[in-house]
Chain A
Amino acid sequence: MPRSTPSIDMTPMVDLGFLLVTFFMLTTQFRPDEPAEAQVPSSISELILPEKDVILLTIDNKDRVFMAFDGQEHRKNVLKKMGEKDKYKVAFTTEESHTFSNLTSVGIPMGELKEWLHLSSDGRNDYPTNGVPCDSLNNQLYDWLYEARMENPQAMVAIKGDRDASYKKVKQVIKILEEVKVFKFKLITNMKVE
């Protein structure tokens, strides 16, 4: 036998590797880029949230409210309608509305939205914000919800609240939901490990 370098046949391993790559490529769903992180509480509920037609309200541990809704066309239309409102009067360019349609959530007051849309994606994530204003004097969340519901009436509302979010804020959000005639909504939770 001629001298040969000791080598292992790696073909099965490589086969398996590619199999896994294919599997993950096909099943993967990218984690959406979320501006606010919320550690959701756990429950025994086994209801699965649908992937489409969801208006997601995230309340993070600093009590900031972010709103996300899907559908590029929906997002464009909602943004346009929001800009047309007398109290805001913001005209969005096609470019701005395109940027907006590719994002997932809003957590910016209307006044700063235009400026925010011109930032880079890192800049947008780092932008200091207090979330969508939703107090009774400046209730922009109501307008967003109203327009989003008008645009896509099948959309269901889900609240993703952080464990440490205060009940005060949650109550405020639920009250706004009631104002837009949403009496049925979902609270996102983790599976309880017991």
Chain B
Amino acid sequence: MAELDTGSSGGSHKKGDKKPHAKKQSTRIDMTPMVDLAFLLLTFFMLTTTFNKPKAMEVNMPVPNKDIKTQTKVKDDLTITILIGKNNKLFYYEGIFDMAKPDLIQKSNYSKDGIRKTLINKNQKVYDLVSKFEQMRKEDKLTEEQFKDTVRWAKKDKKNDGIFVIIKALEEAKYENIVNILDEMSICSVVNFAIVDISEDEKKAIETL
């Protein structure tokens, strides 16, 4: 450490010996406040920072299309209609709705063994294909590009009997229920789905269930 010999101390050598000692001690700065501040800042930044960027789910609503010719025909036996009721109730039916057949509507729920099982069973071919491709992607047998293409093919090709899902919700339903069902669509590899207004007959039918 730099020391200046001022030489002003014209006293004895004993005094000169003591002085450098005293100087050395004074070079130590008390860093506690600075460290305190640093940790305060650290805590502040740790608490205010947002790490998990919000995730989002994409929804495409159909563009109103009045031209009947361009509308696609859907096979009845590949259609499932999901009815979202109030108080987290969930129903579904296959094919076309018929007031005369009240047992058409099945009760279901949001659990793994509920609607997901139904949808996967019905959409087995596409689901198996997509899972197979996902497995291959994990093992690096497919490039990202190929993976996307094959999945698109699996979902779109008519031979794979991809199902059509119509989602109808009561106005009293919670937003969470809708998101859950939309999530099930991606879990079960369903591409063809639409959110549609519920009809009065259907409302009546699930009211009593």
Given contacts A21-B42, A28-B48, contact A171 B171 (CB under 8 A): yes
Structural contact, B84 and A184, CB atoms closer than 8 A: no
Contact with A along B173-184 (1 / 0, CB 8 A): 111111110110
Q: In whole angstroms, what is the CA distance A150 to B182 when docked?
A: 30
Structural contact, B50 and A17, CB atoms closer than 8 A: no
Given contacts A24-B46, A43-B182, A191-B52, contact A186 B57 (CB under 8 A): yes
* A44 located at the interface, meaning its Cβ lies under 8 Å from any Cβ of chain B in the complex: yes
Give the contact stretch, choosing among A75-83, A122-130, A158-166: A158-166
Tell me, rounded to whole Å, the shortest Cβ–Cβ distance linking A29 to chain B: 6
Given contacts A41-B179, A167-B177, contact A24 B49 (CB under 8 A): yes
* A174 located at the interface, meaning its Cβ lies under 8 Å from any Cβ of chain B in the complex: yes
* A178 located at the interface, meaning its Cβ lies under 8 Å from any Cβ of chain B in the complex: yes
Tell me, rounded to whole Å, the shortest Cβ–Cβ distance linking A38 to chain B: 9
Q: Which residue in chain B gives the minimum CB-CB distance to A45?
A: B57
Structural contact, A29 and B84, CB atoms closer than 8 A: no
B64 cross-chain contacts in A, Cβ below 8 A: 178
Tell me, rounded to whole Å, the shortest Cβ–Cβ distance linking A135 to chain B: 14
Tell me, rounded to whole Å, the shortest Cβ–Cβ distance linking A100 to chain B: 24
Give the contact stretch, choosing among A46-54, A86-94, A137-145: A46-54
* B209 located at the interface, meaning its Cβ lies under 8 Å from any Cβ of chain A in the complex: no
* B69 located at the interface, meaning its Cβ lies under 8 Å from any Cβ of chain A in the complex: no
Q: In whole angstroms, what is the CA distance A25 to B49 when docked?
A: 9
Number of contacts between A and B (CB, 8 Å)?
A: 146
Structural contact, B175 and A170, CB atoms closer than 8 A: yes
Q: In whole angstroms, what is the CA distance A44 to B174 when docked?
A: 19
A41 touches which one: B38, B45, B180 (CB < 8 A)?
A: B180
Given contacts A164-B176, A184-B60, contact A17 B38 (CB under 8 A): yes
Contact with B along A28-66 (1 / 0, CB 8 A): 111100000000110111111100000000010000000
Contact with B along A162-194 (1 / 0, CB 8 A): 111111111100100110000111111111100
Chain B's interface size range is 35 or more
A167 touches which one: B54, B59, B84, B183 (CB < 8 A)?
A: B84
Given contacts A21-B41, A30-B48, A47-B55, contact A166 B35 (CB under 8 A): no
Structural contact, B174 and A187, CB atoms closer than 8 A: no
Structural contact, B176 and A163, CB atoms closer than 8 A: yes
Tell me, rounded to whole Å, the shortest Cβ–Cβ distance linking A118 to chain B: 28
Structural contact, A167 and B171, CB atoms closer than 8 A: yes
Q: Which residue in chain B gives the minimum CB-CB distance to A167?
A: B173
Residue in A43, A47, A169 with the greatest tally of chain B CB atoms within 10 Å: A43
Q: In whole angstroms, what is the CA distance A177 to B180 when docked?
A: 21
Structural contact, B45 and A25, CB atoms closer than 8 A: yes
Given contacts A48-B53, A161-B175, A174-B61, contact A167 B45 (CB under 8 A): no
Q: Which B residues fall within an 8 A CB radius of A?
A: 31, 35, 38-39, 41-42, 45-46, 48-50, 52-64, 84, 169-180, 182-183, 186-187, 195
A selection of 16 A-B contacts at a CB cut-off of 8 Å is A14-B35, A18-B38, A21-B41, A24-B45, A25-B41, A41-B176, A158-B56, A161-B179, A167-B174, A174-B61, A174-B195, A185-B59, A188-B57, A189-B54, A190-B54, A192-B183
The 10 closest A-B pairs by CB, nearest first: A24-B45, A168-B171, A186-B56, A163-B176, A43-B183, A45-B57, A165-B175, A41-B176, A167-B173, A28-B49
